[in-house]
Structures are given as C-alpha cells and as structure tokens.
Chains A and B, each alone.
Chain A
Amino acid sequence: MIWDLHCHLNGVPGRTPDEQMARLIEVADRMHIERLIVFMGSPFSQDPDPAELRRQNDQVLQALSHWHHRAFGFVYLSPAHEQASLEELERCVANGPMVGIKLWVARRCTESQIDSIIHRATELEAVIYQHTWLKTTGNLPGESTPADLAALAARHPRARLICGHTGGNWEQGLRTVRPYPNISVDLGGGDPLSGVAEMAVREVGADRVLYGSDVAGRSFASQLAKVTGALLEEPVKQAILGQNLKRLLTPLLQRKGVRI
C-alpha cells in the first residue's frame, strides 16, 4: 500500500485542475500508488493574499471532485492572513473534504499569528504539514527551519505536525526534531540520496517517517527509491510508504465518514 503525502498540481500537464489530476493518477497508477495528498494550485505563490489562497484551494477542491476514492487534499493557509486562513480551514476541512493543512514560506512558524491556526487544526484532528528547509545557501525570509518547527511542536504538543522535506539538510533536520514525538518527517522533495530513510528510521523511529514525492517538481520514481531501495526490513518500508500516513489521517477520516 503506497500513499503519497506530497503532491502538487503545479507543473502537471493539463489545461484544468481536472486534466492535471487525471494525469497525476495515470502516472501514479504506473507506480502502484493508491492515494495522493494534493495541496496548492497553480502557479505557486509564496506569499498569497486571501483571494489567492481561496483560488488555489478551489483548484484543489475541483481536482479532487472526481477522485475522492484516490486522493485527499490539504488546505493551503498562511499565517500572514490569520483570519482568512481560519475561514479557509472551516470551509475546506471542517465543512469540506480536506484532511490537513499546508503551510509554506509566507511566514516562519515561529510567528504568533500561527497559533490560532494550529489550535483549530488540532481541534479538528487535521494533519499539519509545515514546509521546512535549512539551506546552506540561505533560507527565504519566511522559510521555517526544523528548529522553528520544533519550537511549534513544544507549544502545541497535541498537534499532528509533519516536518516537510525533513528540513532539506536531513541529517540536521532529523537531529532537531528527534525529541518531539508529535513531529513526523516527510522524505520527499530532495535528491534521492542513499541513506536518508535508514537514518530517519534510526533517529526518530519507523512510525514517524512518511513517504512523499513533491511531484510534479520531483518524480514519483526518485522519491520512492529512497524507501524501496533502503536497507530496511519490508514491514518498515510498508509503514513508511503508506501505513503511517493512513494512521495519522484516520481520526479525521473517520469523523468525516470516509471509509478506507
């Protein structure tokens, strides 16, 4: 069972979200991926205003509309627009089909405006995906580091947090989030370096490691290889490839009456 935590419409060929979603599913089928998590629309917007947030979430809702048996969505939110984000959270998760939230690079997750969003997402049992990077070449001004996420995890110990890209510089990212049991790590979105899955399992435990691709910027192939080619036992690979994500999503899916 393979569930992909991290998919985008941006970059997928197609004139509409429906066409892009159909193409994503077509290629996912070749790789035996059962479920996709999709977030953010086209084009990528690093600091979207409220109207743009809503427009991008509408694209994802449209893309999901024919594929609820194959895909789920995370709502794209921004701490730069706290009230609008809370409204989108109600519209897309509390009263809509989405099952998590995506926070990108508009503001670092150390800023206090994020707390109301995290608090409400936690009430809803929604998964919280925070993009993180620790770039040798320097981060964007609003780009969170694994240390920023660790601080957020300490403030919100019940939140179901995901450390996007395992911090990019994954050896440092894993060391940073290791003490926080409410943080899982996303293996997606970096080069398919050998050893990342093995170190992740060793440092944070197999049940906190998630396969994600970051397609269409990345390929399913390169990101799957981090897990399928890892020197890990088969049950551990199965946990990373899908079972861990399914477990994280199950409480909210059950509340929504989604059978999986």
Chain B
Amino acid sequence: MITDVNVWLSRWPTRRLPLDDTPQLVATLRSLHITDAWCASLDGLLHRDLRSVNRRTVAECRQHGPGLLRPVAVINPALPGWQADLEDCQQLEIQILRLMPGWHGYDLSSPHFRQLLQSALQARMLVQICLRLEDPRIQHTLLQIPDIDASPLLAPEITAIGCPLMLLNALASTTPDLAARLAANAGIGFDIAMLEGLAGLERLTTTLPGNRIHYGSYSPVFAPHAASLKLQESQLPAPLQTLITRDNSTELLRSL
C-alpha cells in the first residue's frame, strides 16, 4: 500500500506523455502498488477556467480510478475570484489544493498567497506547492518558468497561519539546509520526485525528519517507476519506509 502524493492527469503542454491516457496511468500505478494517488490536472498550468479544470479532474478520477485516484484542485490566487474556485472545491469535497506559483506568476511572499493559505486553513485543506515542474535547462524557449524560492515560507506571517503545507518537486532546487529549516521550523513536508543522488533517500533521511518525507512520483511527466526504484536503491528501516510511503500522508489527511 503506497500513497503517491504527486500524480497528474491530462496533457503536458509541450509533448505527449506515454501514460497521459488515464486508464493506462491507472494500470501502471496499480502495478507499482499505488493505492492512493493524489491527482491534479496539468490543464491547470495554463488554463484560466480552473473551476472547469477541477470539475474534470473529479470526473476523471471517479470514472477511471475510484478508490485510487484522489482529486486535487488547482488554485491560482493571482486570478480574480479565486475564492469562488475554492468554494467550488469544498462543494466537490476536495481536501487538497495544488499551487504552481512559477506558472501562475506570483511568489511565496505575495499577499494573494497568504490570503489563500488563510482560506485553505479555514476550509481544512492541505496545500501542495510545486517549486518546479521542469528543469529550466530544457524548457521551451517560449515557456521559461523560474524555480520558486521556498524561503518566504519561514516568515512569521506565514508560519503563524498554520496551514498544512507540502512542497512538490522541491528537492532539485532547494538546498538541504533550507529544506531542513522548512521541515523543522514550519512543519513542511517534501515529496521525493526530484530527489537525486546515489542512495538519495538514505542521505535525505539524515537531513530531514522521516515524518516530513512523502512518496511522490510526478507521474506521468516522470517515469512512475523512478520513485519506486528509489526505495530499492536506499536501504531504509521498514518503519521509516512505511512512514514515507503511507503513514505520513494518511496522518496529514487525518489532521485536516
């Protein structure tokens, strides 16, 4: 039983992906023993009608992966009227929001972002923040999106809100020192999709507490097998592996 906190539906903007057809993605996730996949739509990168995007996500999850695909809503707090999108998510019983600040043109010190965290807390929602979606070195020349700096999350006006936060695709662009401070001082979790290096999980667990690490694959943009093989490459004690693959995410949802 594995919870994958970083899964996506629909199409990447600049190429077709081998598993961007949801039934095929579902089959692959099941083959890797994923039992709970947190899914947002890649349409949310560029679409502005996010209410439609999120409703399609819910429908897609229900149609192709009931019990496996858990819908995650994309919210853009830089858009006017984002609060209505959030209310719609509540009606749809969505518990998790996913933000893409780089693609939506704001940073984590923006007032819009703070307002969204306050609203998410009131709505008892978990907020996932994508710090990167593509290596800047290989981006399309017309879609050059900067990595997002996570250090504003340490500011007192953010930590005081107390909204549960998880960073996705953060470990390629966040220093180990900053990641450790975000985990220790702000209780922020990290997924492992962009974790690299020899036996990377063994190294990561020396700098981050085990209860702040989550199994995330960034499927289907990344090969879904990559996260699974990271568990094989590192020798972790079984209880720690269970925390990372299931218990941490379960506890996060339970705490909402």
**Interface residues in chain A, defined as those with a beta carbon under 8 Å from any beta carbon in chain B:** 11-13, 23-24, 27, 30-31, 133, 135-137, 168-171, 190-195, 198, 215-222, 224-226, 228-231
Knowing A195-B15, A198-B18, A224-B229, say if A11 contacts B223 (CB, 8 Å): no
A171 touching B15 by the CB < 8 A rule?
Answer: yes
Docked Cα-Cα span, A23 to B139, in Å, equals 34
Docked Cα-Cα span, A198 to B141, in Å, equals 23
B246 within 8 Å of A (CB atoms): no
A21 to chain B, nearest CB (A): 12
Mark the stretch among B40-48, B156-164, B196-204 that contacts chain A.
Answer: B196-204
By DSSP majority rule, is chain B's interface helix, strand, loop, or mixed? loop
Docked Cα-Cα span, A174 to B219, in Å, equals 23
Collect the chain B residues with CB atoms within 8 Å of residue A137's CB. 136-137, 144
B198 touching A194 by the CB < 8 A rule?
Answer: no
Contact with A along B115-157 (1 / 0, CB 8 A): 0000000000000000000111111110010000000000000
Partner of B197, one of A31, A170, A195, A216: A216
B144 touching A220 by the CB < 8 A rule?
Answer: no
A219 touching B230 by the CB < 8 A rule?
Answer: yes
Knowing A30-B235, A136-B141, say if A193 contacts B197 (CB, 8 Å): no
**Interface residues in chain B, defined as those with a beta carbon under 8 Å from any beta carbon in chain A:** 15-19, 28, 134-141, 144, 172, 194-200, 219-226, 228-230, 232-233, 235
Knowing A133-B137, A225-B225, say if A191 contacts B18 (CB, 8 Å): no
B225 touching A191 by the CB < 8 A rule?
Answer: no
B222 touching A221 by the CB < 8 A rule?
Answer: no
A222 touching B229 by the CB < 8 A rule?
Answer: yes
A216 touching B232 by the CB < 8 A rule?
Answer: no
Collect the chain A residues with CB atoms within 8 Å of residue B226's CB. 192, 221-222, 225-226, 229
A-B contact pairs, 19 of them (CB 8 A): A31-B229, A136-B138, A136-B139, A137-B136, A137-B137, A171-B15, A191-B172, A194-B222, A195-B17, A216-B197, A218-B197, A219-B196, A219-B197, A219-B230, A222-B223, A222-B226, A228-B223, A228-B225, A230-B223
Collect the chain B residues with CB atoms within 8 Å of residue A216's CB. 197-198
